[in-house]
């Protein structure tokens, strides 16, 4: 048995935090009470700390198979656990792409071997991520895929996207859309605007994202079928989704921590660790993302964890790979920029990082409740620390937040009742 004592519980159900002990037997939470006297095999003293449902990441990249030099399922899941994530959903843009049942099963098997975090594969919408021919969605679902996406590449053909939404609805599968019009993106590498002009760098118009968001909302509305919009980054996208929700369109969406924590001004100095897709936007867009999180337009926070080898970042900006290694800073960035300033409560952050992602993906997790699986994250909200990428468990050290001081630190992570991180030390 495992007992977590003296913590402030934010359970994903009750809006108000409360002091309680949590008793775990095997994989299951068997008691939550103000004081538990049962003698457990392992006791964690959570005095002064908050006990939360394990975080659920609906969008990450584990790179295996094919790009193990960037990340593998072992390093990726340990990195996830270090960030407090007990369940993660990985995107299919590997090599080969996850477009068949065998690869879905391979990812599940590798995650079980590593035992650091639960991994839920997201499979491809189209074969080879080419945007031309639909995958065998039913076979992918039977193998264990929790959603479908061509993330990393947009589905440019509206007819293919329409068919994908129709078929996916029949199999009760969620399509996650990477909204980007490649003809508008062109060879741009950062947000198009004042900073791109000052730096002499080719820009990416916000319209490249927004026209595709509008297209997919229209398709979802026409077909009366759900769609999930990935990595929302602009004010225009937030407003399109806000208005669609008011009309009753079945659209959900996510943003990533870097879109409410950093702006295109950070590109000054040509630090390639600021290069991400979609790009960091303006301060006004950051404000809009924060507004969208506050009013519920943006449903969840996902990391879009995208690790790269240093050789892919230590080049000129235009040639650098896009992506940020995001697992290990996600909670701290959200706590620092959203909870501490009073934008949202810790309960609301739990909804966006645990409860709603689990609901959207239709997987177990997101709540602390008797009879539920013991996926638990313990955080120290008062702890301040300086981000040091050399300490990342991820192979990807690519983060623009290196050297930044953040508040709120994950200290314990429990997956299926097993302590996988204790006092900030990974045990698996």
Nearest CA to 32 out of 56, 11, 55, 54 is that of: 11
Q: What are phi and psi of 270, to 5 degrees?
A: 60, 40
Question: Tens of pLDDT along 177-217?
Answer: 999 999 999 999 999 999 999 999 999 999 999 999 999 99
Note the residue count of the chain.
428
Mean pLDDT to the nearest integer, 23-38? 97
Q: CA–CA separation, 257 vs 327, rounded Å?
A: 10
Question: Tens of pLDDT along 60-109?
Answer: 999 999 999 999 999 999 999 999 999 999 999 999 999 999 999 999 99
Q: Which sequence positions are flagged as catalytic?
A: 304
- CB of 225 within 8 A of CB of 212? no
Share of the chain above pLDDT 90, in %: 100
Question: Tens of pLDDT along 378-421?
Answer: 999 999 999 999 999 999 999 999 999 999 999 999 999 999 99
pTM for this structure? Answer: 0.98
Mean pLDDT to the nearest integer, 149-162? 98
Burial annotation 173-212 (CB, 10 A radius, 16+ → b, else e): bbbbbbbbbeebbeebbbbbbebbeebebebbbbebbbbb
Q: CA–CA separation, 158 vs 285, rounded Å?
A: 27
Question: Tens of pLDDT along 288-299?
Answer: 999 999 999 999
Q: CA–CA separation, 104 vs 109, rounded Å?
A: 9
Q: What are phi and psi of 230, to 5 degrees?
A: -80, 160
Count of CB atoms within 10 A of residue 243's CB? 12
Q: What is the mean pLDDT of the chain?
A: 98
- CB of 120 within 8 A of CB of 88? yes
> SS3 letters for 109-168?
HHHHHHCCCEEEEEECCEHHHCCCCECCHHHHHHHCCCEEECCCCCCCCHHHHHHHHHHH
DSSP 35-88: ---PPPSEEEE-TTSEEEEPEEEEEE---TTT-TTT--HHHHHHHHHHTTEEEE
State the pLDDT at residue 263.
Answer: 98
Q: CA–CA separation, 377 vs 370, rounded Å?
A: 16
8-state DSSP, 14: S
State the pLDDT at residue 416.
Answer: 98
The distance in angstroms from the start CA to the end CA of the chain is: 19
Structure tokens, 215: 């297209």
Q: Tokens 């295996």 map to which residue?
A: 64
State the pLDDT at residue 31.
Answer: 98
Cis amide leading into 76 (omega within 30) = no
Q: CA–CA separation, 301 vs 289, rounded Å?
A: 11
Structure tokens, 218: 């229209």
pLDDT band at residue 47 using 50, 70 and 90 as cut-offs: very high
Map out the domains of the chain with their CATH numbers: 2-50+373-392+404-426 (2.30.40.10), 54-361 (3.20.20.140)
8-state DSSP, 28: E
């Amino acid at each position: 048995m495992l007992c977590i004592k003296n913590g402030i519980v934010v359970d994903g159900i009750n809006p108000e935090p409360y002091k309680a002990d949590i008793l775990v037997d095997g994989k299951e939470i068997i008691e939550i009470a103000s004081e538990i006297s049962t003698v457990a095999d392992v006791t964690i003293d959570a005095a002064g700390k908050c006990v939360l449902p394990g975080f659920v990441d609906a969008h990450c990249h584990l790179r295996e198979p094919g790009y193990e030099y960037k990340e593998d399922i072992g390093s990726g899941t340990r990195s996830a656990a270090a960030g407090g994530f007990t369940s993660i959903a990985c995107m299919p843009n590997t090599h080969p792409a996850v477009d068949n049942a065998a690869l879905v099963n391979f990812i599940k098997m590798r995650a079980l071997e590593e035992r650091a975090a639960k991994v839920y594969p997201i499979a491809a919408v189209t074969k080879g991520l080419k945007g031309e021919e639909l995958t065998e969605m039913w076979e992918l679902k039977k193998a264990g895929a929790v959603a479908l996406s061509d993330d990393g590449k947009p589905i440019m053909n509206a007819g293919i996207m329409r068919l994908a939404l129709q078929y996916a609805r029949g199999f009760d599968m969620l399509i996650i859309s990477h909204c980007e019009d490649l003809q508008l993106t062109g060879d741009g590498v950062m947000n198009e605007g004042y900073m791109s002009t000052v730096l002499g760098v080719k820009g990416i118009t916000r319209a490249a994202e927004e026209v595709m968001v509008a297209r997919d909302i229209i398709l979802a509305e026409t077909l009366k079928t759900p769609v999930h919009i990935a990595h929302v980054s602009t004010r225009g996208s937030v407003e399109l989704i806000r208005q669609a929700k008011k009309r009753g369109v079945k659209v959900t969406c996510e943003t990533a921590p870097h879109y409410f924590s950093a702006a295109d001004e950070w590109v000054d100095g040509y630090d390639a660790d600021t290069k991400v897709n979609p790009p960091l936007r303006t301060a006004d867009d950051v404000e809009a993302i924060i507004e969208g999180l506050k009013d519920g337009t943006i449903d969840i926070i996902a990391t879009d964890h995208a690790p790269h080898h240093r050789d892919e970042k230590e080049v000129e900006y235009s040639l650098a790979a896009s992506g940020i290694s995001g697992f290990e800073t996600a909670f701290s960035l959200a706590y620092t920029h959203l909870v501490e300033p009073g934008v949202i409560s810790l309960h609301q952050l739990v909804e966006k990082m645990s409860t709603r992602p689990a609901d959207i993906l239709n997987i177990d997790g997101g709540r602390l409740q008797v009879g539920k699986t013991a996926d638990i994250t313990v955080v120290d909200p008062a702890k301040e620390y300086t981000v040091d990428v050399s300490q990342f468990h991820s192979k990807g050290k690519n983060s623009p937040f290196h050297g930044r001081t953040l508040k709120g630190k994950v200290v314990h992570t429990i997956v299926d009742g097993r302590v996988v991180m204790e006092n900030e030390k990974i045990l698996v």
